[in-house]
């Protein structure tokens, strides 16, 4: 049988669902050694400030799965920082890491793509890639309009153009 190795963490319920999904899907390898597992690199690259950053599993383990776009509170929710930010020399050297669950991690410093949907069919969910996205309970797809354009194309078209379809026979109350 397949042997599962675990990292011992306090309050495992707080671990990011995106990280859990990435581990489950094999994108983050766990060998059972905290020294290796928590220090493995998830992504490297420049942040908004232009400084290079290396995000490790330890950095993203407790990152939130949804942050919104309130620019006044985003940096306080971030878990990934450039070294100059940590020392107080940089004000924009923070980020979130999204897409880990899909094997395509990327930095996000706007909060716009930090939306890990826990309602998706797959174990631990998947990134919806847009903070405005909702999960359709009918088809399982994500949508950003008043309703799912896959299940209710006529209603979604009406709501996208700003017109009111309140008196229309196509109205769907959510």
DSSP character string of 73-128: THHHH--EE-HHHHTTS-SS-EEEEE-GGGT--EEESSSTT-BEESSSSSTT-EE-
Q: Is the pLDDT of residue 55 over 90?
A: yes
Quote the CA–CA distance of 66 and 113 in Å, as a whole number. Answer: 9
Q: What is the pLDDT of residues 116-132, one digit of tens each?
A: 766 666 677 676 766 66
Kindly report which listed range (11-25, 41-55, 80-94) carries the lowest average pLDDT score: 11-25
Q: Tokens standing for 139?
A: 């088809």
For residue 164, count other CB atoms closer than 10 A to its CB. 9
Identify the pLDDT of residue 113.
Answer: 66
Q: What are phi and psi of 135, to 5 degrees?
A: -95, 130
pLDDT single digits (tens) 137-152: 666 565 565 555 556 5
Does the pLDDT of residue 5 top 50, yes or no?
no
The whole-angstrom separation of Cα 39 and Cα 58 is 6
pTM: 0.71
């Amino acid at each position: 049988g397949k042997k599962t190795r675990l990292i011992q963490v306090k309050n495992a319920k707080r671990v990011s669902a995106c990280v859990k999904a990435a581990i489950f899907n094999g994108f983050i390898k766990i060998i059972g050694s905290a020294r290796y597992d928590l220090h493995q690199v998830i992504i490297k690259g420049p942040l908004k400030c232009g400084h290079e950053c290396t995000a490790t599993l330890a950095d993203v383990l407790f990152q939130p799965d949804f942050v919104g776009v309130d620019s006044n509170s985003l940096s306080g929710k971030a878990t990934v920082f450039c070294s100059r930010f940590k020392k107080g020399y940089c004000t924009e050297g923070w980020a979130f890491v999204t897409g880990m669950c899909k094997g395509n991690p990327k930095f996000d410093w706007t909060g716009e793509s930090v939306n890990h949907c826990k309602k998706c069919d797959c174990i631990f969910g998947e990134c919806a890639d847009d903070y405005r996205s909702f999960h359709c309970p009918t088809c399982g797809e994500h949508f950003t309009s008043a309703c799912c354009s896959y299940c209710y194309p006529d209603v979604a078209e009406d709501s996208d153009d700003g017109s009111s379809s309140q008196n229309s026979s196509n109205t769907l109350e959510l």
